[in-house]
Amino acid sequence: MGKFIKWGLPALALAVLAAGWWLGLAWAPPDREMGDVQRIMYVHVPLQWVAMVAMAINFVVAIGYLMKASWKLDATAEASAEIGLVLGTAGMITGAIWGRPTWGVYWSWDPRLTSQAIMLVTYTGYLVLRRFVEDPEKRATWSAVVAIIGAINLPIVWFSVRWWRSLHQVQSTPKTVDPEMTLALRVSAFGMLFLTIWFLVQRYRQALAERQAEVALPDALPSDLAAAGGANSSRVA
């Protein structure tokens, strides 16, 4: 199992992703109106999907942590928020690149875009909080609370911004696109999903090892990770 996660999973992910992108970029037909520009969809849409998966994992483990405290759940929360933020940001950038030739602008205050921008700021705040609290137990509890409140807020944001302003095309589903496009999109999405799982597992292991080190031996951590003052004084006691 360990060997599969270390070598097999990334190899599988890259192979599926390469196949999906080859299908999307070379094999699937170009869009009737947008032409070849639309092919960025095979990158943009999977990125957004897996970012949502990561954020959903974060929400679930945050609730789980408050019900039953465990370092494993806390490490999963840290890994999923970080990876979700990176993938979501990449999704947003590819969206802006797609928006420029098709809408004429990189950015619009459309509900979907606005909500995602707010989501990215919310999870940036979450990760900043994690950095600024030294006590691992307090950090885990507080960040779980912040994750839950932040996630609850996203539907409200979506709703309020839709009232506030209503250019994003209806999201692509298999029904709205050509079957060849669907296949390419599905394969790309699975490739991205496998890659995300691999990222998650790697980051989870790191986070868990860090937690265990913090709990076992607070002073053994490098100085930028250990407390800036408070906890370090325990060396004296």
Q: Specify the DSSP class assigned to residue 31.
A: B
In the complex, the smallest distance separating the C-beta of residue 160 from other proteins, rounded to whole angstroms, is: 4
The alpha-carbon radius of gyration of the chain (Å, integer) is: 20
In the complex, the smallest distance separating the C-beta of residue 16 from other proteins, rounded to whole angstroms, is: 34
Q: Can you tell me the distance from the alpha carbon of 123 to that of 125, in angstroms, rounded to the nearest whole number?
A: 5
Q: Cα dist. 193→52, 134, 164 in Å?
A: 11, 32, 33
* Complex with other proteins: residue 98 or 126, whichever CB lies closer: 126
Cβ burial, residue 132 (10 Å; 0-12/13-18/19+): exposed
In the complex, the smallest distance separating the C-beta of residue 216 from other proteins, rounded to whole angstroms, is: 21
In the complex, the smallest distance separating the C-beta of residue 48 from other proteins, rounded to whole angstroms, is: 19
Long-range contacts (CB closer than 8 Å, 24 or more residues apart) made by 114-118: 114/157, 114/161, 114/165, 115/154, 115/157, 115/158, 115/161, 116/48, 116/88, 116/91, 116/92, 117/92, 118/153, 118/154, 118/157, 118/161
* Complex with other proteins: residue 40 or 144, whichever CB lies closer: 144
Q: Specify the DSSP class assigned to residue 233.
A: G
In the complex, the smallest distance separating the C-beta of residue 159 from other proteins, rounded to whole angstroms, is: 8
Q: How many residues does this entry show for the chain?
A: 237
In the complex, the smallest distance separating the C-beta of residue 116 from other proteins, rounded to whole angstroms, is: 12
* Complex with other proteins: residue 21 or 126, whichever CB lies closer: 126
Query: Is residue 33 a contact partner of residue 182, using CB atoms and an 8 Å limit?
Result: no
* Complex with other proteins: residue 12 or 66, whichever CB lies closer: 66
Interacting residues with other proteins (CB under 8 A): 66, 118, 121-122, 124-126, 128-129, 132-134, 138, 141-142, 145-146, 148-150, 152-153, 156-157, 159-161, 163-164, 228
* Complex with other proteins: residue 162 or 186, whichever CB lies closer: 162
* Complex with other proteins: residue 88 or 191, whichever CB lies closer: 88
